[in-house]
Structure 1
Amino acid sequence: MGYGLGVFLLAVGLILAFAVQDAVEAIDLTMIGWILAAAGVLVIAITAMQTNARRRQSTVARTTHSDGSQTVQERQSDGNNPPPAV
């Protein structure tokens, strides 16, 4: 799945909803168009959320003190602002 599938479903759905005037017995092409358009929007939204989630990064810094204890610090950031160097 990806943006291409979402745009394709959205385009086909809107064409069926607005441009097709034919009637098929017992099938409402306008409703099928709206369903496909909604599915296309949903695919685009899910793809955007997955892409955004993959861009997030986390950095773990471990510091070992002279007495043997350790300090762990975790920093999270999105892809636009990488975490500062430790």
Structure 2
Amino acid sequence: MSMGLGIVLFVIGAILAFALNIDVGWVDLDLVGYILMGAGVIVFIIGLVFMLRRRRTVATSRTSVDPRSGETVRRDETSAPDDPV
């Protein structure tokens, strides 16, 4: 979600900075465009960092013997780590 928001902010900022030639007396649209592009880059990078942190997982594999049948049972679990690094 935040990566998409960053792209949208960047695109709107680029349109304001480079595509529009409207002169508004009370606001500089070029400056607003550059600010939105900078905010879009920052939001995109923060979203990318959060996405990469979320994808870290811990895989646990256990092998045990079923007491009823005597067969070897393998159990695989995947979970997120408790404390982020």
How high is the TM-score relative to the length of structure 1?
Answer: 0.63
Q: In structure 2, what is the equivalent of residue 22 of structure 1?
A: 22
Displacement, 1:58? 3.6
Distance 1:26 1:59 in 2: 58
Distance 2:3 2:47 in 1: 7
Q: Give me the identity figure in percent.
A: 42
Q: Which runs of 5+ in 1 are unaligned?
A: 61-86
Q: Does 1:9 align with 2:9?
A: yes
RMSD: 1.7
Distance 1:5 1:57 in 2: 26
Q: Which runs of 5+ in 2 are unaligned?
A: 61-85
Distance 2:19 2:55 in 1: 39
Superposition map of 1:24-63 within 5 A: 24-58=24-58
How high is the TM-score relative to the length of structure 2?
Answer: 0.64
Alpha-carbon displacement from aligned partner over 1:26-84 (angstroms, at most 9, x marks no partner): 21000000000011111110000000111112468xxxxxxxxxxxxxxxxxxxxxxxx
Farther off after superposition, 50-59 or 30-39: 50-59
Displacement, 1:14? 0.4
Counterpart of 1:51 in 2: which secondary structure?
A: helix
